[in-house]
Amino acid sequence: MSKYQKLAQEIVKEIGGAENITELTHCVTRLRFHLKDDSIPNDEVIKNMDGVVTVVRSGGQYQVVIGNQVSEVYGEVNVFAKRSEGALNDTKETKAKKKKPLDAFIDVISGLFQPILGILCAAGMLKGFNTLFSTLGVYSADSGTYMVINAMGDALFMFLPVFLGYTSAIKFKVQPFIGLLIGLAMCYPAIQLDALAGSREPLYTLFSGSVLDSPVYLDLFGIPLISMNYTSTVLPIIIVVYFASKVQNILDKIVPSVIKFFMVPMVTVLVSLSLGFLLIGPVASYASELIAQGILAVRETSPLFAGFLLGLLWQVLIVFGLHWGIVPLYINNMTTMGYDTIMASVFATSFSQMAIVIAIIIKTKDKNLKALGIPAAISALFGITEPVVYGITLPRKKLFIMSCIVSGVAGGFYGLYNLREFTFGGLGVFEFLTMIDPNEPGVANIMIAVIGVVFAMIVSFGLTLVMFKDENKEPKTKEVQNTVIESSTSKKHTMFSPMDGEIFSIKEVKDEAFSQELLGKGIAIRPSTGVLSAPFDGKVVTLFPTKHAVGLVSDEGMEILIHVGFNTVRLKGKHFEAFVQEGDIVKKGQKMVVFDKEAIEKEGFSLETPIIVTNTFDYLEVIETKATILNAGEVLLTGLL
């Protein structure tokens, strides 16, 4: 019995057996189960097992915290669950069991931000310290130093849809560069509403005179396109990339392989972005305008309730990209009245978020969470809350909701006592400077702001200490110290070597189309014999007339191209003999092509054979064998999903 068999057997037994498991994955420290009936497991029994750190129920998952040896335990659990590794993710029960809509939404949003949290914190700190140094007079706000450093920090926030386009593409299994292109297109300067409104007159206006008054500056295929500012938004890019995933899936099934390489990305981008621009712009514009008008109407009746409502909803509006309709009200108030009371209502929001993070930093034993929390708190001090919201509070939705409620109460207080901002200025702690009344010397207005901030911070800090529970304790056992790579899934597709020979990197081949991985990731072989065999069970989709190149798709869905030699197309089939044809079903190891190795080399042709995974972007990673010599039938490449 191996080291972890007994532990795995006990875990499977206590969670209700294999029949109660619908999905199993693992991350760096924990097993993550989706169970049919999560009332079956006895938490205390599992917690007390030798080798288990603790048990966590979170996000619809039953999580058993193991520690560094989680990958070994995971493999044994799969055995005792009587399923092959990765099969748990494919059960019908998993597909049928869905998370609550709110849980699913938060899981998607927070998951898309996880890969960029580090640079998000870095960018926020750059912006904050840049403002600090300019305020202290180290350099002026119109100096070149300020502008360049501001560009360093602000670039990520301005072009956030580009980063989210990439992470969304990975999440929804779209080619990552399609996601990047969609994000870039949505941030293209010339089509942003501010740029259009400042450079041209509208073609015409829809719903003129109503609350939905919409100037139209562009049309698309003759259809009115209602513009919006997509820079810095979150939800629009996610929606468009999700739709792109559906378009790509359809196209993958119907577009011929010969033109799929460029046709699928082109049509996917064209269709998804066209519908995105035509539909998302109007929906977001109308929704934000209606919200703004609603807030304005409520404020005329009850400043207290309007302040509460705006403080309560502000972070939610930002997540959905619906806050833009309120910003013009703020600008209009500043330019016409010389002060604003609407945006002042949300002043305490960033301080509430900061207090939550400070409490977590104090309470948590998770070193990674502390490392994320410190720069996130600094960013929040300067009014930049994205690192806090997307990295810490939104994934822990109770803390996010608590912060919204506390900010709402502070906003109601600000509305009741008519907190005002008198100038455009910085965010966070620097926003205090905008509250100095130039006409009435004194600190009364600032004291109102301070009281709201102190209230928000004390309440948020205290409630977090009560509500927050550390989910990532240090492992009690330290038998294994090797690093485990986090994986959202254990599913993989494997390709075996189609020939005997010497293995080397695809980047070393002489043809740039292969060496620069323009056709996809892969590997190369210097064959020692003249037999090309099927590398998996699958289908021959392409056999070049010259028989030197074969395209196949495995039963699992891996698409590959095997190109025997360089410039061997010039042989026009000479020295090659095919034993399959297009459309044939092949089995792993089946002879497909035989070539006369000596004769081909004698004619001066290299037989270095690139093997390319042409649907590389369907995989999170394509892993090459570390071997330098392989026989046909041994593992060559693995695609991780």
Pairing of strands 204-206, 61-65: unpaired
Catalytic-role residue among 27, 121, 187, 404: 27
- Sheet with 531-533, side-by-side order of all strands: 531-533, 591-595, 576-578
Q: What are phi and psi of 59, to 5 degrees?
A: 60, 30
N residues, the chain: 641
Tell the residue number behind the tokens 């072989």, with chain if given: 525
Known catalytic membership, residue 404: no
CA distances from 172 to 167, 175, 176, 604, 620 (A): 9, 9, 10, 46, 11
Helices (H), 346-443: 349-363, 367-381, 386-388, 397-416
Cα R_g (the chain), whole angstroms: 29
The Cα 346–Cα 408 span in angstroms is: 8
Tell the residue number behind the tokens 């740029």, with chain if given: 195
Confirm if 347 and 431 have CB atoms less than 8 A apart: yes
Q: What string of DSSP letters covers 446-495?
A: HHHHHHHHHHHHHHHHHHHHHH-----PPPS--S-------BS---EEEE
The Cα 553–Cα 313 span in angstroms is: 50
Q: What string of DSSP letters covers 213-249?
A: -EEE-EEETTEEE-----TT-SHHHHHHHHHHHHHHH
At 7, which helix (H) or strand (E)? helix 5-14
Strand partners, 539: 553, 585
The Cα 313–Cα 233 span in angstroms is: 16
Q: Which amino acid is at 424?
A: F
The Cα 451–Cα 416 span in angstroms is: 13
DSSP reduced 3-state for 100: coil
Catalytic residues: 27
